[in-house]
Structure 1
Amino acid sequence: MGILNTRKNKRYSYQPRYYNGEGSPFELKHKFDDYRVTAGSNKGLKTKFNNAISDYKSNNDTTGANRRVLYIIAALILVFLFIIDFDLSIFSFKR
């Protein structure tokens, strides 16, 4: 045990008893990571935003869920503006 020498970690050759698959059994991976572009080691806010936009554009939404989400968000915003008593007349043209 010297001052200049660092201690090496011990390595064990542990093999799980009932694992017959491929790859590491200790790797934590989400089951949808192979199908998404946005999941992964994306660095930077611009890269994440561009990947999210391209994923949104390439999504073939046949059920109209994206449009439904936009309608729900718009309704919630209007309810919020009504609750805080926001005057919507500022958006109308006065002659």
Structure 2
Amino acid sequence: MGLLTRRKNKKFSYTPRYYKGEGSPYEIKHKFDDFRTTVGDNKNIKQKFNNAIDELKHNPDQAANRRILIIVAVLVFLFLLIIGFDLSIFFPN
């Protein structure tokens, strides 16, 4: 045991039990990252926003877009109702 040398760490060749051999078993990745355009090397907020708008426009499932807009509209309406906003400006006399 030398006084001037440091001890080296032990190395093990461990592979997980159910590892199938595709890529790194320790890589954490979302299930749908391969299908999204908004995930990746986006350095600035303008590029992220433009990618999100392009993904929304070119989405093949238009019913999902309509559903999201309806949910957002209902939540905004409920928020305005809760804070006591005068909703009579939206309706004709």
TM-score (norm 2): 0.67
Identity of aligned residues (%): 63
Please tell me whether the aligned partners of residues 38 and 52 of structure 2 are also in contact (alpha carbons under 8 angstroms). Answer: yes
Count of paired positions: 89
Matches within 5 A, 1:5-84: 12-16=12-16, 18-62=18-62, 64-84=63-83
Q: SS of the counterpart of 2:84?
A: coil
Question: C-alpha separation between the residues in 2 aligned to 1:85 and 1:25?
Answer: 53
Question: C-alpha separation between the residues in 1 aligned to 2:65 and 2:80?
Answer: 23
Pair 1:9–1:90, CA change in 2 (3 A): farther
Q: Alpha-carbon deviation of 1:12?
A: 4.9
What code does the residue aligned with 1:49 have?
F
Structure 2 portions without partners, runs of 5+:
none
Please report the RMSD computed on the Cα atoms of aligned residues, expressed in angstroms: 3.1
Aligned to 1:5: none
Question: C-alpha separation between the residues in 2 aligned to 1:26 and 1:71?
Answer: 40
TM-score (norm 1): 0.66
Q: Alpha-carbon deviation of 1:47?
A: 1.2
Question: C-alpha separation between the residues in 2 aligned to 1:43 and 1:14?
Answer: 36
